Structures are given as C-alpha cells and as structure tokens.
Structure 1
Amino acid sequence: MCASNEVISCAILIFLGSQLVGGSDLPLKCATGLITGRLGSSVVLPCWLSPPLDVKAMEIRWYRPDQYSTPVLLYLNHKVMTDLQKERYRNRTSLSLREENSAGLKGGDVSLELKNLNMGDRGTFHCFVSGDKAYGSCTLTLNLTALGSSPVLSLQPQGDQVNVTCRSCGWLPKPRVEWKLSEQKIPGPGGLLFSQEGELTCVQSWVLLSPSRSGPITCSISLPGGEEKDGHVDIQNILCLKHGGGPWKAISAVSTLAAVALAAISIYFYRKYKTGYTAVKKGQEAEETAYPNPNMEELRKAAVSITLDDTRTCPGLMVKNKLVRDKEGVADTHREPGFPYHLSVYGRNSFSSGRAYWEVGLISPNIPPKTSWLIGVTKASNDFTENKHDDMTPSKGFWFLYLSKQTGLRVNTEPEISLPLVSRPESVGVLLDYDQGELSFYNVKEGICLVTMKTKFQGQVLPMFNPGIGDEAPLKILDTAGPSAVPAEGASSPTDNSVKIP
C-alpha cells in the first residue's frame, strides 16, 4: 500500500511538472508601464518567469514588432546567436539582470540590456521564451529622454535695461524654463521660443532686467521628471576699469563648479557702442554721465614682444615668425563638430607678475576679417592637445575669448557667455594684469573693451593663439612693442622665458 501511494504521488508530481513546462504557456512577465532611458546611455528591459524556472536550455528572443525573424537578441543552444540579429543592434545588446539579487537564466530572468540608446530604439519590444512544448511572450514600451546642453547666457544692452538670454539645445521631451533672481522666482519670462533640431528640442528664453539689480540670475531648464541644467549670471554696478577702459557693466558668470573653484569670473561689457556710457547706482535711477573709451596708446605702454613657440604646436598648424594658420586640407579633414580647440599654439613668453599688452591681427590686405579664432592665456603647465573643450575652463587654467562660425563671440566662463558682436574685429588687443587678476580684450580699431575676465592667476601663464580653420587670413602677432616694452627672450621653454613686468 505504501509503495502504491509513493507511485501515485510520483505520478502527480510528473503531471504537474508537465503542465508547467509542457503546457501552452510559460508564466512570462514584463515590467508594466513605460520604461524610460536616457539618449546615449543604457537601459535594462525587465522580463522574467514567475514562478522562477531554469531557462538556460530554452530559446530567448527579443524582437521589435513585425521583426521576429531579425531579432534584437537571440539566445539559442546555450549561447547568443548573431547570424540573424538585426544589424543596428549588434554589439549593443546582452542578457542582463533585472535586479541585483536575480539568479539570471537559472532563475528565469531573461531581461535585455540595450546600450547606446538612440531615437530608433523608442517603442515596443517583444520578449519571447520557448521550451520544447511551452512558450511565453510579453511586451513593454521604451521611452527616451534627453538632457540638453548647459544653458549659454548672453547679455545685450537694450535701452536702460539688460536683455539676459538663455539658450540650450538637445532636449527630449520639450523642457520647461524658470528664471530666478536671488533664488526668488521671476514671474514669467519676457520671451520663450522652441525650435526643432532633428527630433530634439532647442529652447531660447529671455528676461529684461535693470542693471542695478543685484544677486545671481538663474535660468533653469528642466525635464518633466525634474532633471535640470542651470545657467547663472550676476549683473553688478557699472565699473570704471583701472586701465582706462571707461565704465563697463560687470557681469559675474558662475556655475556650481565655478563657485567652488579658484577662478571667479567677472565679465565687463560696453553699454553703448563706441559712445558715452551711463553710470548706474544701486537703488537709484540712472545718471547720465559720459566716460571716455579706452586709451589704446596708454595700453601700449605695457606692450611686450610675443614670440610663437613652434616647438609646442599641433601638426595641423603652420607657424612662421609671428604668423600662424591652419595647413592646407585641415578644414577638409576636421570632422568633429564645433571649434577646433586643439589647433592652438603657445607664446614663448611666460608671465608671473605685472602687466603685459599685445595685439593680434585678424585681417590681411584685400581679405575679410577672420571668421574663427581663439586668443587668451593658459597655465604654463597645461597642454591643450590633451584637453577637451569641457576641460578648457578657467578652473582648469584656461582663459580665452573666441569667435566661432557656429556660436559667435564667446568667452569661456563657466558656463560660457555669448557677447554682442557688432562687426568682426580686425585686430584684438590683450591686456594681462597678473597682479589685479584681470585679462581684458579690446577691439583695437574701434577702441572699445570687448570683455574683461577677472580671476586669480597662480603660477606662470602663457599667451595662447588659435587661428581656427578655413579662413583666408592668417592670425598674426602685431608689432606694438615700443621702447618701454619687455622683449621675449630666446628661451626654448616657457619656464626659461618668464617675463616679469614692473
């Protein structure tokens, strides 16, 4: 009797097992609701058997609607098969774990990891598992988001106010914009525009503020889920630059990174083009007071003779005496988007104190002014060939003004500030006041200050030049040094050529 009962129990277990494995369906489950991934990153699409069942000997197939025969991923005969896999998913997919304590295939976890997400990955995915006699399937939907670029702020005088504009691209879905002044929300922007860049969204917003308003102005651009990127700017009182630049509105551009870095950047720009300026006192109406433009001859009293260092240059540059330009064909081979920051050359002169002034020519006879260039200074220890654009910031020891065909005139603050450009400069003057922590740029022909960066220099700094690509005109170091100038010595390294100006 006992043996007979054991046989019956055994038969029941065999029957139940056959119902689980040999029935019409496997108990396959997919995550419910939208699965959201970030454009360019990775995501796991959860799919599993419940109750758990070892699927190592089964077929696992992930595919898109109506694409069963060209799967996203196919696991068969204990391995991933790539022969039938859709080309666009090769090297981007793998079986993964839906949670850390998952037992993987042994526990019925057949989740898919999809890497380097792109816009074509949005939509429905089918998860299919098949045994000898049973199968199961379920579907889930993948949604994508994209966190756009860091906002770029630009400032433009507009009557007695300052137009602060915030721009950013690369968002998905359409973001929202919020302005704050000293952490207090500004009710409603002055303007808001959206545009499409492919399938991603660009946004531009602006506010009009009095130059007497103090405190940080913040432009926050965010996704519906709360992820955001901020840009900050501080409009301060008009200042008279000590080197004769006249009064300029001071704008301090800061970000979370810059706030903790040594480089606190102050930006000065002119209010009225080439004419007088208006002094504004905090809490008062504007007083009409005219100030002179910079005295260029006074600036030239601090002139130095800059020599280009052809021993530290990019192979794509041609350096001859005081001229530098891109070599023939470089414009055709430069396929990276944006400005070619690596095409830079240093000056042999290094500075660790005092004041120094030099001028850079951006035009040649019968040739229009250059459309792209970069002029500034850098820490002597920096190597531009090893730095990406994101690393070329004041907190990393780079300070420069640059003109790009794509983005216009900008200064490399954190975040970058876009400056108003009436006409392309024919020559740019650079005044380095090491002790005061100021680097100023001038439109020499018009006799105006374009911008002043205020920071704290440490160690030796070198002049830095980049001619851009594709222009007919080269970039030329002009001879502005008079009898009082400090000439560059013929040393082969910046360390041996430190110039100190009394």
Structure 2
Amino acid sequence: SLFTDRRVTGLCLLTLVIYLTASTNLVVTTTSPVTGTRGHQVTLPCWLSPQQNAEELEVRWYRTNRFDSPVMHYQSKKFKYQEPAYVGRVSFGLKDAASGGLKSGDVSLKLLNVTTEDTGDFFCYVSSNQGYDSAPVNLLVTASGSPPFLSVVWGENDKVNVSCESEGWYPQPVLRWSDKKQDVKPQSLVYRNLSSGLFLVHSWLLLSSTSEPSCSVGLSDKEVKEAKVSLGTLHKTLEPGKETFCVCVIVILCLFVFDCKYRLQYPTLTHQYHCGKLHKTFFNHLHINVKLEDRNNPYLKVVGNRVREAHPDDLPGKSFPDGEMVTCVTAIKGTSGFSSGKHYWEVSMRRINTDEKLGIKQSWWVGVTSAAEIPSNSSTSFPNTSNGFWFLSSSPKRANSFQFSTQPEISIPFHSRPETVGVYLDCDSGELSFYNVEEKTLIGSFTATFKGEIFPLFNPGKGDTSPMEVVQREVQSQTGDEGNCAESNTTHPAISI
C-alpha cells in the first residue's frame, strides 16, 4: 500500500542520515594487520579522522561477536566492565611517538603479555551523541621456537636416519631439509599443537653416511633457525639397527650475526678412546690436581676439593640475590691458570665415602674461563663464550640434555648423567673437550681461540645438595713402553660438606 511504501522509504532515509552523520562527524581509522610477539606488548593503532578530542567519547575495543564483553570499555572518562582475560593487560596506547593521545583523537589499544589466544580481529568502536564508527585491526601473533635439534641413528646398508625437532613456534612453522644446499624431501613431517598453544615440528629422512644434511625451521625467510650435521665426521660405533645419538650442531640464527671463533663438535670417540687402557695412557700423563680458589664466597661452601652451594640459613639475607637462576654468584675458579700445553682434570658428581644416597648431581657448570675475577654481581651479563666463559652445564629442569655456554644456547642429548666429567684442555690448538669418564665417551668439544691465561671453572649450581668434587690423583711411576698403562689411585678424602 501507499502507506507501507512511505514507511519503508522513511526508514531508509533515517538509516542513511544516521550513516552519513556517523561517517561525516566520526571516522575511525586503523592500521592493519599488526604483528605482535608472544609474551611482549603490542599497540593496535586506532584514531579519529579528522582529529578531535576523544576524552568525552565512548571507546570500546572488542573481539569478533563480543561487543557486550569488551576487551576495554571507556565511557564518561571512566573504564567500565571488561573481559576477565584482559584485566590488567590493556590500556590506551600511542599510535606513534608524535601522538597526543586521547586529546588528539588517538584511541589506540596497548596490549601487554601477548598470548596466542590474542590472534585475530580486534574492533575499535567510538561513539558520541553525534554518531559512531568502528574499524577492525587484525593481530598476528608470532613466537620463535627453539633451535632445531638433530639426532642421528645409524642403520643398515650405509644408511643414516637423521631426525630434526623444534618446538615453541607460533603459528605453525615451515621445516625444510637440504643436503649440500640441495633441497631434500623428508620421509616424515609431523606437527603437534602443544598444551601451551605453541607448535612442535618433527621430521626425519634417510641419507647416506657421507651426507651433510641441514634442517631449517622458521616462520619466514627472515626468521629461520638452522642446524647442520656432517655425517662424514661421525663414527659408527654400534651394530646396525642399534641407536646412537651423535649430534654435530651448528645453530645459525638468521636474525643475528653469529660470528664466533669456535665451532661445536659432537662426534663419538674413535677406537682409541673406547679402550680403557689407551684411555688411561692418553690422559694419565696429562692429569693435573686442580685446587679450588679461596674466594671467601658467602654463597658457597668449600671444604678441600669439594664445593656446593651454601645452606639457605647461612646466606646473606637468607636468599640468593638472583633467585633460583644459576649465575656466577655460585661459580669458583681453579688454580693455577694455563697459557700453553695440554691439561686434563676430572670432576666427580657423586658423593664418595659416605652412606648418604644423594644420587648423581644434576645442577652444575664445568669448564674454563679467561676472566681474571668471577663477576660477583648477579646483574652482570650472563657468562658465555663471547665474554670469556666456555663451559658445559647441566640442569635438573632439562632431564635429557646438557647445554654449552654459547649464544644462542646449544643443547647436547644424553642417555644418562655422568658420575664423573673429564675435562681436556689444549691451549695451543684451542680445544676444550668434555668426557663421560665411566662410559669413556666424548660429550662434546669447543674449538676456540684462547688468549691469555685460562682457568678451570666450576659451579655447583642451586637446589642440589650433592657437592661436586675435583678429583685428585696420585700417579705412580710408569714402567715399560709408552703403550703400557700407568696405574693410578683416585683419592677422595672423607670430608662431609
């Protein structure tokens, strides 16, 4: 009917007037998409155009289809109800350094502690008594995962199974294999979404024993982490079909310049080191009895050649200045230092000559340092190869791997923790190697350019009551030719600490 047609026409005109009013008097502009890093803060830009004071306006940030449960709601110069997941995490931010904030119409959202759940659209809605407008901002959340971890299993017919695993990525990363710079298709590629919301990727392939595979994992060409292994440098030590994990990892972070004067090696021992007699022959004449430096460190208890962390009741302020984190506060040097020659010493991780069954020590550092003094301030930069600290560390939080003091950190897998760690230092060639003495296997090696005097380094860690002991040997005179083994007795003074 004519009445109905006029009513419809009137509603259309009213809608058009409201739309034109909103668009003419209040225009919301955003920048999208925006990329944020998990655990960090990000600003979602939103502002009024033309510029006007927004202090008296209503500003509402909300997720898709969640208008009534806003991320942030500002009205009458007060903040209203917001979604619980965003309490304490949001506030007004600045779209750029020159912004004047709300007075200039900048209603950007600053979001703290970004999570993977924040991925997606955020709507910026602004209204006044003259109109309203809204626009979305798409947030892309990323998380950079761990360096790829390579493991090797020797098989039959000169074939080697090489697997690559990396975790902590978001969104799902891309994994690529190559062999001598030629792309290789893997036999398996599996992604798993962890309970944290992050992704783990695992892949493996079969290669010949002369291959040099590389595994790269990343979110884009600008954020790639890579691990390589040269199979030709690894020695086949087990029967076909049995597993051995022999890792030679060089981590390459394309985001950083990793130009260090060392390389990391993880071959198995040659036949010489699998023979107990030859093992003793090789190291007996190099063994030195390292003494612990007397620093009067209140955070350590040193008795003879044993050291452990001080009891909490004996600590200044009853606590460590750096909490549970293991730092140089509990580190100690050995004497004397070396500037040339080959040297070997051992560190026991099990309590000797006592009925206490404390098991094998799990928290420790063992290595060398060129530092004249151990930093006593916990705020000092963490010790690593770039500032004169070369060491192998163990942590109970990482039950299946050791770590080298590299930047970035490099992990080395193991099947069982060593009771005794042997340290071999060749100052002239720049080699530093770590051995599992009981199993007569090499854990890993550094090759570095040592300058000046180098000192043994020890750290008993924290939260581990078992002490570490620098082994002292009484070497008897050798008889016969060089191939005969000189017997030695290891002395462990019955001192309880």
- The two structures have a TM-score, normalised by structure 1, of 0.71
Could you say which residue in structure 2 is the equivalent of 1:284? none
Could you say which residue in structure 2 is the equivalent of 1:401? 392
Q: Report how far residue 138 of structure 1 moved.
A: 3.8
Residue from 326, 346, 353 that aligns with 1:340? 326
Q: Give, in whole Å, the separation in 2 of the partners of 1:144 and 1:303.
A: 53
Could you say which residue in structure 2 is the equivalent of 1:319? 302
| Secondary structure at 1:117 match in 2 | coil
| Secondary structure at 1:296 match in 2 | helix
Q: Report how far residue 164 of structure 1 moved.
A: 3.9
Q: Give, in whole Å, the separation in 2 of the partners of 1:389 and 1:187.
A: 45
Q: Give, in whole Å, the separation in 2 of the partners of 1:224 and 1:254.
A: 17
Q: Report how far residue 434 of structure 1 moved.
A: 0.6
Q: Report how far residue 178 of structure 1 moved.
A: 0.7
Residue from 287, 295, 305 that aligns with 2:279? 295
Letter paired with 1:47: C
Q: Report how far residue 432 of structure 1 moved.
A: 0.8
Could you say which residue in structure 1 is the equivalent of 2:182? 184
Q: Percent identity?
A: 31
Q: Please list, as runs of the form range in 1=range in 2, the aligned pairs for 1:71-470 lying within 5 A after superposition.
A: 72=72, 74=74, 81=78, 88-90=86-88, 92-97=90-95, 108-155=105-152, 157-158=154-155, 160-190=158-188, 192=190, 194-214=192-212, 217-223=213-219, 227-237=223-233, 251=248, 253=250, 255=252, 260-270=259-269, 294-311=278-295, 313=297, 315-328=298-311, 340-342=326-328, 343-365=330-352, 367=357, 368-381=359-372, 383=374, 391-407=382-398, 408-412=400-404, 413=406, 416-470=409-463
Letter paired with 2:72: V
Q: Is the 8 A contact 2:289 2:473 kept in 1?
A: yes
Gaps of 5+ in 1: 1-18, 240-247, 276-290, 485-502
Q: Report how far residue 438 of structure 1 moved.
A: 0.9
Distance 1:335 1:171, change over 3 A: farther
- 1:40-94 Cα offsets, whole Å, 9 max, x none, are 23333232334x14124532423335576876263755xxx56867784547533
Q: Give, in whole Å, the separation in 2 of the partners of 1:105 and 1:386.
A: 43
Q: Is the 8 A contact 2:53 2:102 kept in 1?
A: yes
Letter paired with 1:409: S
Q: Give, in whole Å, the separation in 1 of the partners of 2:138 and 2:202.
A: 31
Q: Report how far residue 226 of structure 1 moved.
A: 6.1
Distance 1:158 1:384, change over 3 A: farther
Q: Is the 8 A contact 1:376 1:401 kept in 2?
A: yes
- Bigger mean CA offset, 136-145 vs 473-482: 136-145
Letter paired with 2:309: D
Q: Is the 8 A contact 1:356 1:432 kept in 2?
A: yes
Q: Give, in whole Å, the separation in 1 of the partners of 2:98 and 2:81.
A: 31
- 1:268-324 Cα offsets, whole Å, 9 max, x none, are 32389985xxxxxxxxxxxxxxx88752243121222212224175x5432222111
Mapped pair 1:27 → 2:23:
no
Q: Is the 8 A contact 1:167 1:204 kept in 2?
A: yes
Q: Give, in whole Å, the separation in 2 of the partners of 1:409 and 1:57.
A: 55
Could you say which residue in structure 2 is the equivalent of 1:8? none
- Bigger mean CA offset, 248-257 vs 395-404: 248-257
Distance 1:100 1:427, change over 3 A: closer
Q: Report how far residue 469 of structure 1 moved.
A: 3.7
Q: Report how far residue 177 of structure 1 moved.
A: 0.8
Q: Give, in whole Å, the separation in 2 of the partners of 1:42 and 1:168.
A: 25
Give the alignment's Cα RMSD to 1 decimal.
4.2
- 1:127-154 Cα offsets, whole Å, 9 max, x none, are 2333344333344443422222233344
Q: Please list, as runs of the form range in 1=range in 2, the aligned pairs for 1:3-22 lying within 5 A after superposition.
A: none
How many residue pairs get aligned? The number is 434
Distance 1:296 1:137, change over 3 A: same
| Secondary structure at 2:282 match in 1 | helix
Q: Give, in whole Å, the separation in 1 of the partners of 2:184 and 2:379.
A: 35
| Secondary structure at 1:298 match in 2 | helix
- The two structures have a TM-score, normalised by structure 2, of 0.72
Could you say which residue in structure 2 is the equivalent of 1:10? none
